[in-house]
Amino acid sequence: MEQTKLHKTIRSKTMKAIKTFDMIQDGDKILIWISWGKDSMLLAKLLCELRDRSHLNFEVKWVYMNKKFLMRCEVDFTEQQKFFDKIWLDMEYIEINLPEWSKLEDGIWISCQWCSYARRISMFKLCEKWWFNKIALWHHLDDGITTLFMNMIINRNATLMPPINKMKRWDLTIIRPMSFVREKDIMNLVLNEKIPYSGCTCPIWEKSKRKEIWNLMKVIEATEPWSLENMYHANIKKFIKEYESKWWITD
């Protein structure tokens, strides 16, 4: 069946990323942040499959963060909860707020920066509280190449979103197991296997710089079908060389 082939392809690419960067070791405790979107839902399923079938002994737990400062992001997650109950994945539901000094609380929508900051700090604190040593994020190849474009166009550097990221100020490692997977394949698999998910409800996504660059990428890919994957893997080779010599460390 076509969905079986697709499932195997995505699982193979996920395992390739995990093995290339040694993302998961025996005894790891991994926190998955769920947004209810297709990417995070599929990542949770793939990691549960690996947990149940692998010789490695590791723990996975997922957390949903209700962003009180963006009530329009709230969704009904009844069907997603039923799905997680079937695959035996523990849940934690928390509410987060922005730092007091964030201008977003005043309704000034400048960028996604403070929303991302609030989420990550909350995850870091949860890992510290529960003694988890890794955070699994659902970013895929399209996210990685979008970040590369943004860094080149805005920041004048060719930095790729790292598949693995050792934090300097926290005893944590961020992993992105789906770094080699295309977004279109994720969407097809989620639809084929009827995995419940919610579409993007972010009120500022449509006006964001990332969305502008995402649209630009689609124009490029329409002209050169393999261009995005070629650019991604050209840059990932450089990252692999740096990774093999030392940890990719950031603040």
Per-residue pLDDT tens digits for 1-38? 445 799 999 999 999 999 999 999 999 999 988 878 89
Per-residue pLDDT tens digits for 36-58? 889 999 999 999 999 988 888 99
Per-residue pLDDT tens digits for 223-235? 998 888 898 888 8
From the number of C-beta atoms within 10 Å of its C-beta (0-12, 13-18, 19+), residue 9 rates as: middle
Per-residue pLDDT tens digits for 172-228? 999 999 999 999 999 999 999 998 887 776 767 777 788 888 888 889 999 998 888
> Do 93 and 64 touch, CB atoms closer than 8 A?
yes
Would you identify the CATH topology of the domain 2-250?
Answer: Rossmann fold (3.40.50)
**Averaged pLDDT score across all residues of the chain:** 81
One-letter amino acid identity for 154? I
What pLDDT score was predicted for residue 96?
60
What pLDDT score was predicted for residue 166?
86
Cα 77 from chain centroid (whole Å) = 19
At a CB cut-off of 8 Å and minimum separation 6, what does 80 contact? 34, 36, 41, 196, 197, 198
All structural domains of the chain with their residue ranges = 2-250
- pTM metric for this prediction: 0.84
> Do 228 and 145 touch, CB atoms closer than 8 A?
yes
